[in-house]
Structure 1
Amino acid sequence: MKLNYKIIWVEDKIDTRPFLSLIENVKSHLENEFFNVHIDTAEDFDEFKEKYEDSQTYDLIITDLNLNESHGNEVIDFIRDEKHILTEIFFYSANSELSTTKLANSSRITFYQLDGQDYHKELQNSIIEVINLTIAKFQNIVTMRGMIMQETSSLDLKMEEIVRKQLSNPYLEEHITPLLNTIFDNIFANAKEKYERAEKRKVKDILRDNVLFNSSQKIFALGAILEIMKEENFASKYNDEVILIRNQFAHSELKKNEQGKEFFKVKGEEVYFDKDFCKKIRRDLNNYINKINTIEKKIKSVK
């Protein structure tokens, strides 16, 4: 799932107004949780199979039982019996035979019997309930740590590429020279400090050491370059909203209070790990991914 949430919805009436509205509402719900949402649709099993083979990765499969000349159980048997994948599935129908439909594997499947006049609204609420459950499973410390490490590492590489290109940009030479002097001064100061630490031959000092041009140097350089480009300098906020969070997950111990709520201990303060915190992390990561991608595009567009 990471920052993306992918759904494939199999329904023979998928292009009708009620279902188009349902799709938009489901998409809006996920976007409000700060996911990048992609919803594929198919009208029958054959179209589903073709699209699934092209993508292979979905966080949720939604299927009706009756699909013109095919049936939703074919979708489920293909996923469980042929692909051997336990993707979450939402299986619904107005047909009372839903509960007795034979399936290759019934695990991680939500069965929903359509009933009542306002069944589209009921269907939407039930699908969103399942989506919320899948999000909740994702929001554990191990999974979130992996996602944060991967996304921030990707952002670090993008920042480094922006800095590398702009530092060698001949059109910015007049402004870049003072920045380079500052960077070299900082590196020299760090190198001198490293030499002095090494000279003392204290193991604990060496074990705490970092690479000369570390994340702080990159962020500083990025901020200076953004100002030279007359763009918003978000470097400081990026440090607080992304790097600090990454460090909390990487180095801070997750604890529990007397009520069983999980939190990080950061500089004497308790930072609670819950769905709101996870939502904020997704929001902030997506925010800076978009900002950095925008800067990349502007640099590439300049000949």
Structure 2
Amino acid sequence: MKLEYNILWIDNDIQEYIDNGEVGNLNSYLEELGFEPNIVTVEDEAELDNFIYNYKYDLIISDFNLNATTGDKIIEKIREEKGFSTEILFYTAKSNFRDDPDVKERLAFMDRITFHSNRDTFLDKVEKLIRLTLDKLLELNATRGLITAATSDLDVEIEEIVMQLVVQHKKSEDDLRQIVIAKAHTPLQKRLDNFWDRYDSFQSYFPKIDAVKKWEVLRDLLKPLKTQEEIKTFLDGNKTYQTQVIDIRNKFAHAKAIDDNGILKLKGQIEGQDFEFTEDSCVEIRKNLINHKRSIESLRNILNSN
């Protein structure tokens, strides 16, 4: 699910930024924008190889003057070996560090680089750079693709958990047939005697049904377990899944980008009902998707521990 925003932060004194709350403030800022922050901090540049291949970073922040090297050499290594074209922010207490001829030469052919030397306004500069990197991502057509992909990922998660429940609770063939009859068949399919025989198993059939019915089957399989407080909590919070995830995906599939008096919106109509999304509403949608993602991840952990 591409709702994450990945930052690589390199500094020999990174613990100071953690202790004084600046890393936490960036986490909060990204959450307010409707993203799931992942800030990877590296204290020793010698250990950088352990981190640079883990993620496709959206932003790299680096102290320019590290203990064993300079930031531009680190970035040159990352770009050559990893192929990053990521936006980069260098910072340093030395305001004239770019005047060094060697530094100028090394930086001459590097693009997407920002420099900052004022500690008091450092966090503001980082936040502005984050917004810059998000401009294209937050454009509504791109957001539509992100949210559609994210909801599809959740759909797969539900499929996998249903299969896990079927195995864990040793559902018989008759039990599985009843699930199909009760939830998965359309009225037409119920009249087809050979419908069930077309599929080798419930496992081969279940992925083919629509998202709402998959979600209903998941909840039906969990309800007998709601004597467990954690399962009950999940079911209570999951009641909004259809409106906040499935319905949103359906609307985005029918939406078109239009210019409404200078404001870009996604607008459309389903079953005679008009709807529209703006950048602000997309922030709320992303937050809801992250909450459901985390809730489903927690459910998987609960089931795995039983």
> If the TM-score is normalised by the length of the shorter chain, which range does it land in?
0.7 to 0.9
Cα distance in 1 for residues equivalent to 2:110 and 2:266: 36
Larger CA deviation: 104-113 vs 283-292: 104-113
How far off is 1:285 after superposition? 1.1
Distance between the aligned counterparts of 1:26 and 1:144, measured in 2? 21
Give the 5 Å matches for 1:222-233.
Answer: 222-230=218-226, 231=232, 232-233=235-236
Change (3 A) 1:153 1:18: closer
Q: Which of these residues, 196, 214, 237, is aligned with residue 218 of structure 1?
A: 214
What secondary structure is seen at the aligned counterpart in 1 of 2:267? Answer: strand
Structure 1 position 31, deviation (Å): 2.8
How far 1:83 sits from its partner (Å)?
3.8
Q: In the alignment, what sits opposite 2:112?
A: 108
CA drift at 1:244: 1.4
Cα deviation digits, residues 157-195 of structure 1 (max 9, x gap): 22122223334554788xx95x96364045161425899
CA contact (8 A) 1:14 1:41 kept: yes
Q: CA deviation at 1:280?
A: 1.3
Deviation at 1:257, TM superposition (A): 1.3
| Residue equivalent to 2:42 | 42
Question: Conserved in 1, the CA contact under 8 Å of 2:140 and 2:265?
Answer: no
* Residue of 285, 297, 300 corresponding to 1:296: 300
Aligned partners of 2:164 and 2:95: how far apart in 1? 63
Is 1:279 aligned to 2:279, yes or no? no
Q: Deviations over 1:201-242 (max 9, x none)?
A: xxxxxxxxxx96222221221222233221225555111101
The match for 1:181 is 178
Structure number with greater CO (CA < 8 Å, separation at least 6) is 2
Deviations 1:48-78 (A, max 9, x none): 3x23444252211111221123111112222
Note the residue ranges of structure 1 that are not aligned, 5 or more in a row: 196-210
Give distance in 2, aligned partners of 1:19 and 1:81.
33
- The answer for unaligned runs of 5 or more in structure 2 is 194-206, 227-231
Q: Which amino acid in structure 2 is aligned with residue 122 of structure 1?
A: T
TM superposition outliers: structure 1 runs of 4+ over 6 Å: none
What secondary structure is seen at the aligned counterpart in 2 of 1:9?
strand
The count of aligned residue pairs is: 277
Give the SS at the match of 2:281.
Answer: helix
Task: Give the corresponding residue for 2:229.
Answer: none
Percent of aligned positions that are identical: 30
Alpha-carbon displacement from aligned partner over 1:3-22 (angstroms, at most 9, x marks no partner): 22221212232223676522
Deviates more, 1:186-195 or 1:20-29: 186-195
Q: Is the 8 A contact 1:223 1:233 kept in 2?
A: no
